Amino acid sequence: MSNTDFAVAIEDLTVSFDGFKAIDNLTLYIDKNELRVIIGPNGAGKTTLLDLICGKTKASSGSIKFRNEELTGLDEHIRVRRGIGRKFQTPSIYENLSVFQNLEVSYPAGRSVFGALAFKRTDEVKARVQVVAEEIGLADALEMESGLLSHGQKQWLEIGMLLMQEPELLMLDEPIAGMSARERELTAELLKRICKGRSVIVIEHDMEFVKQIAHKVTVMHQGKILAEGSMEAVQADPKVIDVYLGH
Ligand code: ADP
């Protein structure tokens, strides 16, 4: 496989904060339709890596290509338009709006240039809301006020708000934090559904959940990749047991 066939091709990426290399000459490739999970101890550089991909942090050196286009010089909002979506741990939904309205205002043309929320129930928007609501398992809750949703449902709604923009790469930071066992199961199913047609990168600490969802696991340590492969392979790797799983 040539490097141009990957959805994401990161090569020799480094970022330093006051001389400290949070990401240290890292090379990583992610396929189209792949669900990649990144694990590793606190401070390994997982969040910084996602910050670099979405443009929240600028690289000191190296390359990040998305669908063969260099991203490193592009601002965060341009990367969103190129199809990169990022969800942080705390959901940022409009609690006083319905599920439908939250999805509606997330449609790319749903926000005016002044930042005010725009409601445009065109057939196109309605059709897209319906597709996304089914993907996130909230098709029966479209008229519900979002503040009344469970913690898990709020997280799914925020994923749905990102899906409204039809991202080709979606990045999620600990998507099951605070969820019930049932919500975790449903989130695993949701993630398996949404990686069809796009790539998904998940940072996760819960190894049972990682086993359920990951196509491939990357283990990070001190800004570098310590191991990469199937969950079974990385779990059996003595280096990984030593710095992470053995604790
Ligand atoms: P992880 O997500 O794996 O826990 P992080 O990416 O949050 O790790 O952090 C990696 C290292 O980089 C940590 O030592 C952290 O303190 C440092 N770091 C991250 N962002 C900054 C920043 N903006 N300024 C200084 N140091 C930072």
Res 90: pLDDT:
73
Residue minimizing CA distance to atom 21 of ligand 1: 17
- How many A from CA of 197 to the centre of ligand 1? 31
Taking residues 82-88, report their average pLDDT.
91
pLDDT band at 92 (very low <50, low <70, confident <90, very high): confident
> Over the stretch 114-126, which tens digit does the pLDDT of each residue have?
556 666 677 888 9
- How many A from CA of 215 to the centre of ligand 1? 26
Ligand 1 binding site (Cβ under 6 Å of any ligand atom): 17, 22, 40, 42-48
> Over the stretch 195-228, which tens digit does the pLDDT of each residue have?
988 999 999 999 999 999 999 999 999 999 999 9
- How many A from CA of 120 to the centre of ligand 1? 40
**Model pTM?**
0.93
Residue 103: partners with Cβ closer than 8 Å, 6 or more residues away: 128, 129, 132, 133, 157, 160, 161, 164
Domain 1-83+170-247 has CATH 3.30.565.10: no
**Interface predicted TM-score of the whole assembly (ipTM), two decimals:** 0.97
Tell which one of 17, 60, 244 to mutate to probe ligand 1, the residue whose CB is within 8 A of the most ligand atoms: 17
Residue minimizing CA distance to atom 17 of ligand 1: 22
Q: What are the domain boundaries of the chain?
A: 1-83+170-247, 90-166
Structure-block tokens of residue 70: 């260099």
Q: Which ligand 1 atom lies nearest to the CA of residue 17?
A: 25
Tell which one of 39, 48, 60, 243 to mutate to probe ligand 1, the residue whose CB is within 8 A of the most ligand atoms: 48
More confident residue, 4 or 87: 87
- Judge whether residue 91 has pLDDT over 80: no
